[in-house]
Amino acid sequence: MRHVIKCLTEEGELNDNIELDLSEAELLKTYQTMVLTRILDTKMIALQRQGRIGFYLSSYGEEACSVGSALGVSNNDWFFPAYREQGAMLLKGVSLHFIISHLRGTSEDEHKGRALPGLFGCSSKRFVAPSAPVGTQIPHGVGAALASKLIGDNIATIIYFGDGATSSNDFHSGLNFAGVFKTPSVFFCKNNQWAISTHVDSQTSSQGIAVKAQAYGFDGVLVDGNDVLAVYLATKTAMENARDGRGPTLIEALTYRLSSHSTSDDGSRYQDQIEYKKWLNKDPIARFRKYLNNAGIWTVEYEQELQEKFDRQISDIIAQVESSPMPSVDTLITDVYSEIPSALKSDFEDIKNI
Ligand SMILES: Cc1ncc(C[n+]2csc(CCOP(=O)(O)OP(=O)(O)O)c2C)c(N)n1
Ligand SMILES: [Mg+2]
């Protein structure tokens, strides 16, 4: 039986001996961000179904992982996300307008409409855009951490990836390099138990993911990924250790993918429905809500106001984004060529005249 770090019981009671350093305002901001993330996911799936955005990757069920981990990361640290970290972005102040502009690929998209919707970063908030091949952000984040160590700027990196990515070469080379050079990096594995239709049991024959850290010479911890406070405390400790020169940590956050892999997938065709329902009952938002209710800082009226406010806010931003122009044809070469190469000139002119 593996030891799982937990702070909250299923009933939202704080376990004994947990020292929580969060103010009431911080607790509420955390909760609000989890709720906002879920509403954003729901509305973006609807938008994709209506053909108004091309593709979407939801974080349904995994909100405690993204929001709780980001809460443990300081504003100077760098994020190397995968593609379900919208909650971390929202917590760190990436705006809804920024995210929805990216998904729609308008002229206000930082990636100029070139990136697959969902594979994006935000330079001002220190989120580096991931590449499409699974796991490639792992060595990127380790390299950035090594640079910080050499410069001595006291910055750590947090690198997100899924259970499926642990089978990539980049996972093994990234963690090995981090162990040898003691880079200030934290590896945050969201074990949502699925890599599209491949169950985690077919991904590895080791006892979960956290244990793999031993082979690379640093600590691995298993945390309840549906317990936002446990995720926060584990990440905060790991980031502090990284910054203070105590080396990397691998965090395995055990959760479950309640959405399909993407809007191009139907998880109900392969996810066991009994198992699915079991995890539906472990909803991370409901669990945290029980805690806030027990603490006397959540009410039904508050919830209703929150839901209505976020629903309206997102709808207003969708309307703004949909009235924004698409990127100009010139942006096909911006950041790529200083001037159009002669071989592309006629293609470029043809596109301009469409
Ligand atoms: C090298 C590579 N192989 C396959 C794919 C196709 N692919 C995209 S996401 C994905 C599953 C990744 O699963 P996991 O790492 O568990 O992340 P999750 O989607 O569960 O968050 C796969 C196989 C890819 N993008 N890159
Ligand atoms: Mg997965």
Q: Read off the pLDDT of residues 56-73 as tens digits, 9 standing for 90 and up.
A: 999 999 999 999 999 999
Q: Which ligand is nearest to the CA of 192?
A: 2
Cα-based distances in Å from 310 to 50, 290, 316 = 20, 21, 10
- Residue 203, ligand 1, Cβ within 6 A: no
Render pLDDT for 298-339 as a digit per residue (tens, 0 to 9).
999 999 999 999 999 999 999 999 999 999 888 888 888 888
- Residue 253, ligand 1, Cβ within 6 A: no
Ligand 2 centroid – CA 164 distance (Å): 5
Please confirm, yes or no, whether 160 is among the known catalytic residues: no
Q: Ligand 1: which atom is nearest the Cα of residue 261?
A: 19
Ligand 1 centroid – CA 261 distance (Å): 9
pTM: 0.97
Question: What whole-number distance in Å separates Cα of residue 79 and Cα of residue 129?
Answer: 9
Q: What is the pLDDT of residue 354?
A: 76
Q: What is the pLDDT of residue 338?
A: 87
User: CA nearest 84: which of 177, 178, 160, 174?
Assistant: 160
Question: What whole-number distance in Å separates Cα of residue 157 and Cα of residue 145?
Answer: 6
Q: Which domains does the chain have, with CATH numbers?
A: 24-323 (3.40.50.970), 328-354 (no CATH)
Q: Ligand 1: which atom is nearest the Cα of residue 62?
A: 21
Atom 13 of ligand 1, nearest CA residue = 195
Average pLDDT, the chain: 96
Q: DSSP labels for 274-326?
A: HHHHHHHTT-HHHHHHHHHHHTT---HHHHHHHHHHHHHHHHHHHHHHHTSPP
pLDDT, mean of residues 240-252? 97
Q: What is the pLDDT of residue 332?
A: 81
- Mutation probe of ligand 1 site: the residue of 55, 196, 255, 265 with most atoms within 8 A of C-beta: 196
At 266 the three-state DSSP class reads coil
Q: pLDDT-derived band of residue 1, with 50, 70 and 90 as boundaries?
A: confident
Please confirm, yes or no, whether 261 is among the known catalytic residues: yes
Q: What is the pLDDT of residue 352?
A: 80
Render pLDDT for 66-99 as a digit per residue (tens, 0 to 9).
999 999 999 999 999 999 999 999 999 999 999 9
Ligand 2 centroid – CA 196 distance (Å): 7
User: CA nearest 246: which of 218, 222, 209?
Assistant: 218
Q: pLDDT-derived band of residue 156, with 50, 70 and 90 as boundaries?
A: very high
Instruction: Give the list of residues 6+ apart from residue 23 with CB closer than 8 angstroms, or none.
Output: none
Q: Ligand 1: which atom is nearest the Cα of residue 133?
A: 26
Ligand 1 centroid – CA 164 distance (Å): 6
The torsion angle over the Cα atoms of residues 168, 170, 173 and 176, rounded to 10 degrees, is -90
Say what percent of the chain tops pLDDT 90: 91
Q: Look at the block and give the residue holding tokens 């470029």.
A: 348
